[in-house]
Amino acid sequence: MLVFVFLASAFCDSGKTTRYWDCCKGSCGWEAKADVSKPIDTCAKDGTTRVASNDTVKSGCDGGDGFMCYDQTPWGVNDSYALGFAAAAISGGEKAACCNCYELTFTSGPVNGKKMTVQVTNTGGDLGSNQFDLAIPGGGVGIYNGCTAQSGAPADGWGSRYGGVSSRSECSQLPSGLQAGCQWRFDWFQNADNPSMNFNVVSCPSELIAKTNCRRN
């Protein structure tokens, strides 16, 4: 038992979170990014139809037919625990992160003490060290905007380009398949604005793998 506790704490680190939803094919949807069973599922323009998970499908942000899937969004399991997905920048890059799962324990804001397990599906050139960019519909498109091509969103996405919509009622602007994930931010997440957190690697819950069909080998 003492050895287990020591190992668990040794792999714990601190970082920060942000939020985004740019509709682009996730970087972990390309081949040879990491030692995984297969790249993450990529979806067609409708957000639900799975397309080939390989390098032949270009991202919708580059004029292709590959987009984020509507079911790769967050949800609350109970009042203190949630599941979801994220882009991440951690030591080892995509080779270490793609399709790995991390338990985040929030350490600031209204979600202080709450926990969330995320599977990494993406990265970002604008992410700092130990930053997890939570995939939250209506969270802001950031650098890239594939949401106009996929869903007819405004040029800067829904709401502000960085930060997204500002109220729960604005989630109604999103496609119906994304509205629950958008509302999650104002319900379970209590509209927390980029809270800090501690994180550690955990085994991926089957509920997350079922939505990406990607697991570490």
- Which one-letter DSSP state was computed for residue 205? P
The pLDDT of residue 198 is 98
The pLDDT of residue 160 is 97
User: Is this prediction's pTM over 0.75?
Assistant: yes
The pLDDT of residue 54 is 76
Looking only at the bridges linking them, the beta strands covering 131-135 and 13-20 are: parallel
Domains of the chain: 13-23+70-205 (2.40.40.10)
Average pLDDT, the chain: 93
Residue 5, pLDDT > 60, answer: no
Residue 184, pLDDT > 60, answer: yes
Residue 95, pLDDT > 80, answer: yes
The pLDDT of residue 112 is 98
The pLDDT of residue 2 is 37
Residue 4, pLDDT > 60, answer: no
Assign 74 to helix, strand or coil: coil
Give the residue-averaged pLDDT of 116-132: 92
The pLDDT of residue 11 is 63
Assign 181 to helix, strand or coil: helix
Percent share of the chain, pLDDT over 70: 95
Q: Residue type at 117? A: T
Token pair of 181, please? 């994930």
What's the pLDDT tens digit per position in 42-82?
Answer: 999 999 999 987 788 999 999 999 999 999 999 999 999 99
Residues catalogued as catalytic: 22
Q: Residue type at 56? A: T
Give the residue-averaged pLDDT of 152-173: 97
Nearest Cα to Cα of residue 129 among 166, 99, 159, 88: 88
**pLDDT confidence band for 189 (50 / 70 / 90):** very high
The pLDDT of residue 10 is 40
The pLDDT of residue 53 is 72
Looking only at the bridges linking them, the beta strands covering 81-89 and 115-122 are: parallel
The pLDDT of residue 84 is 98
Residue 122, pLDDT > 90, answer: yes
Residue 149, pLDDT > 90, answer: yes
The H or E element that residue 206 is part of is helix 206-212
First-to-last C-alpha distance (Å) of the chain: 27
| C-beta separation of 41 from 181 below 8 A | no
